[in-house]
Amino acid sequence: MRICTLLFFAASFAAAQTPLPQRLAAIANEAHGKVYVSCSLPGVKLDCDLDAHGHPPMQSTFKFPLALAVLRQVELGKLQLDQPVRFLKSDRYTTFSPLQDEFPEADVDVPLRKLIKLMAEESDNIAANILLRLIGGPDVLQQYLDSLGLSAIHQQDSEYTLHGDQKLQYRDYAEPAAMVALLRLFADHSPLNSEHTALLNGWMLEATSGPNRIRGLLPGSSGVEWGLIPATNDVGLITLPRGQRLALAVFVTDAHAGQDACEHVIAAIAREIYKEALVSVNVATVR
């Protein structure tokens, strides 16, 4: 009787709601731009896609695949987590960088572990540039993504290059479905060993950037250009109460709404998908 009651409650709750795609589309309209969404939860069908195979600019969300690529080189013996990496004077420029705040004159050695941590936890742009340089540049990152079958994530520039010409960001894109596939791979069958998977997962959980988006994950935004906001993005994994991990990517592109509104759109979309996931999991469980 209890099972029947739970099933009836969950099904009734779901039926009483406006269908998820309509709810997401209504929220997306608040950005006055283009919103791309994809999500995945194993064993559950969530109809959350909004142009999931479009090509929105990645901005700082590229730091997640970059972290994977760097740690993979550690596993291959090409790099070591505690090796010193030179922060060059030529690496400096005006951007968000706790590393540069700590060492404004540069010209110091920084442990590789610290650079990855700064990039993953605080979205440090200069740390990302140094790591990209260390592994051999955007082409090497792209080769790694291609090896995972994720060529729909396309990277050919550094943060520094994009800083010099914001229009270039549109060629560094990720299909939201591909970014979710990468998150799904990391959560379910990580391409890294258990030690490095736990290390990166811990850094992501401790992230302080983007508190108004998907809390504690890797956001990226580009600032205001040409009277609009080219990119306000967030991707990450949300752990449900029973331990399942929901992979989610939301990209807000060319928005005429303000930054606060763009972040609200991401947060509201994440909330609606999370609510839908909880109902779907409950229905699947009682069946």
- Alpha helix (H) ranges present in 106-193? 112-122, 125-135, 138-147, 159-164, 176-188
Residues marked as catalytic: 60
Nearest to 230, CA basis, from 178, 165, 175, 145: 165
Q: Give the span between the Cα atoms of 216 and 120, in whole angstroms.
A: 10
Q: Give the span between the Cα atoms of 200 and 189, in whole angstroms.
A: 14
| Residue entry with tokens 């972290």 | 67
Contacting residues for 257 by C-beta, under 8 A, at least 6 apart: 30, 31, 32, 33, 229, 265
What count of other Cβ atoms lies within 10 Å of the Cβ of residue 77? 7
Q: What is the CA radius of gyration of the chain?
A: 20
What count of other Cβ atoms lies within 10 Å of the Cβ of residue 99? 25
Strand-pair partners of 231: 253
Q: Give the span between the Cα atoms of 287 and 229, in whole angstroms.
A: 45
Classify burial at 90, counting beta carbons within 10 Å of its beta carbon; exposed 0-12, middle 13-18, buried 19 or more: exposed
